[in-house]
Amino acid sequence: MINHALSMRCACARYLSVPQPSRSATYAHRASDLTALPPSRPVLESLDNSKVSRFQLKIMFISGMGFFTDAYDLFVTGTMVALLTPEWSLSTGQVSLLNSITLEPHVQGPRP
């Protein structure tokens, strides 16, 4: 994780013209270097003063719909199990197994 954060800081440092830390630094030195990057005031001010573009609104809408469908899927799973329990006369163990089986794809993640 520290190596990933260090490489991200190096990429940001190239963009913001900040000196890069040495790769041969100790773990403690590298960890303290991650907080040493000062915010660039002109960059932050330009972001604060910029207007939201149509493209940014489109990206926000698409990501919001993705979050909605993922959350809806999890919500429906719990609701349907609660509705099917008396209909199918499920025991507590069967309800637990059904919940575990329906949530397993979320744990595994997307398949290649």
Is it the case that residue 8 has pLDDT exceeding 90? Answer: no
Question: Are 97 and 58 in a shared domain?
Answer: yes
Comparison of pLDDT for 35 and 87, the residue scoring more: 87
How much is the mean pLDDT over the chain?
75
For residues 4-21, average pLDDT: 50
Q: How many domains does the chain have?
A: 2
Question: Are 43 and 60 in a shared domain?
Answer: no
**How far is 50 from 16, CA to CA, in rounded Å?**
19
Quickly list DSSP for 26-89: -HHHHHHHTT-----HHHHHHHHHPPPPHHHHHHHHHHHHHHHHHHHHHHHHHHHHHHHHHHHT
Q: Which of 33, 48, 63 is the last residue of a domain?
A: 48
Question: Are 7 and 43 in a shared domain?
Answer: yes
Question: Are 65 and 81 in a shared domain?
Answer: yes
Domain assignment of residue 22, given as a range: 2-48
Q: Which of 48, 65, 83 is the last residue of a domain?
A: 48
Question: Are 71 and 95 in a shared domain?
Answer: yes
In the block, which residue shows the tokens 């260090």?
A: 6
